[in-house]
Chain A
Amino acid sequence: MMRYWTTIGSRTYELTVEGEGPSPAVTVDGEPCDIDYYEVARDAIYSLILDGNSAELWVRRDERGGYVVFVAGHTLAVSVEDERRRRIRELKGGAGEGEQAAAEVKAPMPAMVLDVLVAPGDEVAEGQGLCVVEAMKMENLMRAPRGGVVKEVKIEKGRGVSLGDVLVVIE
């Protein structure tokens, strides 16, 4: 029997799984479940009957080894931890806490920088405008995701930026 901690959003389910067939013995948060799953399309589409409730799930792996699941219109990011992985994370836990990482404001799309509203060293409040970019003929004010001090301004007025380019770094 293996134990798992499976997280969707802020909710973590504790599961145990035993056996490898289409109907493994599964408990969720200590409660045994009646399970029947069927792979409709390899590594992609599954039919799951969970305690008589039918669900069709479209699944793919994400880049970090988790899963992205489409089910009845919901898109869910699912991460699964087994006991070893959980222990490693717990041992490491706490080391990074308390430190607030620098926040990078990135270009949400390829765009043109129309205006830069801050300079390095400026103190900014959450929601304060940092720069104005234009794409698809719309001007967009890029706001600070949190308060802090502007560490770096990586853009210039009148220059183009690509998707994902760092515009401003806030510390």
Chain B
Amino acid sequence: MFKKVLIANRGEIAVRVMRACRELGIRSVGVYSDADRPAPHVRYANEVYNVGAAPASESYLRIDKIVDVARRAGAEAVHPGYGFLAENADFAAACEDAALVFVGPAPATLRAAGDKQGARATMAAAGIPVIPGSPPELREDDAIARAAAEIGWPVMIKAAAGGGGKGMRVCARADDFAELLKHARSEARSAFGDDAVYVEKCIAGPRHVEFQILADAHGNVVHLHERECSIQRRHQKLVEESPSPALDDELRARMAQAALKAARAANYTNAGTIEFLLDADRNFYFLEVNARLQVEHPVTELVTGVDLVKEQLRIAAGEPLAFAQDDVKPRGAAIECRISAEDPDNNFYPATGTISRLRLPSGPGVRFDGGIAQGYEVPIYYDPLIAKLVVWAEDRPLAVERMSRALNEFVLDGVATTIPFHRWVMASEVFRKGEFDTSFVEKYFRPEASHAERQEKAAAVLCTILSHLRGAEAPAGTDGAGPATDAWRLAARRESVGE
């Protein structure tokens, strides 16, 4: 096993990987941008180096600087986390050239997985169902429009170099196509530096179900069952769970076989995810290979008991998998809520601010993966995902209750987050029944004031007593009074002049 590993990432995932390193007796080398000096992952690392200015393009995306730091620090391997350089074939190749082990698939595999249309062709050739779409050689707007009309409306416009929902648009009719194509291209250009797009048939009422794969360098491939990721907003996942309430054993077995076949067809090594769309008639289609550790990997860890980051490191170190498919026995149910600095009351706009107070949920079956701390200012430069709350319980209804309980214990003040949204999801009857698709949030979520009679009454009583005591400390009308009186007078004066 390695003695020292560089983690080319920040935030919660950097901390997650460093935790695995610490348990394996590996020294972790962190990197940080100028904006991240106060970030918790910097404090968690054993060694840590600055790699440049705040914008990711000048720090976390700088292959040259990160490889240079890894060599100088004497790291043997580089773990990319997710996002940033995780699926960048040039980065994996640069690591290899510098005699560093890249913790992930080979550069050629990354290149093939990143080429979404090429990957689709590979999977179709391997006999895995794919969604009908326009061929990769179509580049011109007019030709793509004709292909879209042939496939039949509605269609999905997707960035060829894409992922994570960026540059993706649904188009319901021919009249809107030109406009949406323009937006998709411009978003693809700014997100991936490549404005190539293609179209795919839009699957009605789809659910997003993905399979976790582990493949070692010795030809062993296992799956660690599925994750349901249908609770999304604008193609960004918000809640994930395992097992999927949409699968029965028969369908699960068929999809798992397809996932294993896909991993073999892609010549995959290390941890990866095969994403599928499941339509209302329970047909499934290959969507893409995510050639990295997923954000939502903890739900799989909780139901299977497998530590995916440790497995990644073992596989990268050349060890064979220590278990076979039959040894993977999932138990119970796990749910993850992504805690993002986004305001659900304000269209999920990214929020910034300083976390002035923080109390993390705990107790039986609760796991918290975070890159935050009290006093931490959430920077504007990076992804708004700041933490993940994950629970495990004996079955799905108990896991939902446990998540509700954990969310109620969570205090995070100073920055708007998705916590209230998740409370709403856990209370939703539709979610509880498990009968939802990827349109769930759009269809049902309406920001509304919380109604909790007893808690409201308690808050009203307490605040009134606090006001009463402030008034008593500094009675109105006395000069040299405390801040309460000053504020009161100021307010009165302002009101009297009609401001």
**Closest CB of chain A to B349's CB: distance in Å?**
4
Q: Which of A45-60 contact B (CB under 8 A)?
A: 46, 48, 50, 53, 55, 57-60
24 examples of A-B residue contacts, CB within 8 angstroms: A2-B471, A6-B463, A9-B456, A17-B465, A20-B472, A26-B461, A28-B461, A35-B465, A50-B458, A58-B413, A67-B459, A67-B466, A70-B413, A71-B458, A74-B455, A75-B420, A82-B471, A85-B491, A89-B495, A108-B346, A109-B380, A134-B187, A138-B234, A140-B347
User: How distant is the Cα of A80 from the Cα of B488 in the complex, in angstroms?
Assistant: 11
* A139 contacts B462, C-beta separation under 8 Å: no
Task: Find out whether the CB atom of A20 lies under 8 angstroms from the CB atom of B469.
Answer: yes
Contacts of B423 in A (CB 8 A): 73
A139 contacts B187, C-beta separation under 8 Å: yes
Contact B492 A139 (CB under 8 A): no
In B382-433, which residues have CB < 8 Å from any A CB?
383-384, 407-411, 413, 419-420, 423
A72 to B452 Cα, complex, angstroms = 9
Interface contact A28-B460, CB-CB below 8 Å: yes
Identity of the chain A residue whose Cβ is nearest the Cβ of B473 in the assembled complex: A20
Q: Is B349 a contact of A88 with CB atoms below 8 Å?
A: no
Instruction: Please state if A2 and B419 are interface contacts (CB–CB under 8 Å).
Output: no
Q: Classify chain B: how many residues form its interface, as a range.
A: 35 or more
Report whether A55 and B455 are in contact in the complex, using a CB–CB cutoff of 8 Å: yes
**What 0/1 readout, one digit per residue, does chain A (133-146) give for beta carbons within 8 Å of chain B?**
01111111000000
In the bound complex, residues from chain A placing their C-beta under 8 Å from that of B325 are none
**Given A92-B498, A163-B352, A84–B476 Cβ distance below 8 Å?**
yes
Give chain B residues whose Cβ lies under 8 Å from the Cβ of A140.
Answer: 347, 349
Please list the 10 inter-chain residue pairs (A to B) with the smallest Cβ-Cβ separation, ordered nearest first.
A73-B408, A108-B349, A55-B458, A80-B467, A69-B459, A78-B463, A17-B468, A137-B191, A71-B455, A6-B460
What mask results when residues 229 to 248 of chain B are scored 1 for a CB within 8 Å of chain A, else 0? 00000100000000000000
Question: Is B72 part of the binding interface, using a Cβ–Cβ cutoff of 8 Å?
Answer: no
Determine whether the beta carbon of B463 is less than 8 Å from that of A28: no
Cβ of B351: which chain A residues have Cβ within 8 Å of it? 109
Q: A9-B456, A140-B347 are in contact. List 19 more A-B contacts (CB 8 A).
A: A9-B449, A13-B460, A20-B472, A28-B457, A37-B465, A46-B462, A48-B462, A50-B457, A55-B455, A58-B411, A59-B466, A69-B463, A74-B455, A88-B496, A108-B346, A108-B350, A109-B351, A134-B190, A135-B350
Q: Which residues of B contact A13 (CB under 8 A)?
A: 457, 460, 464
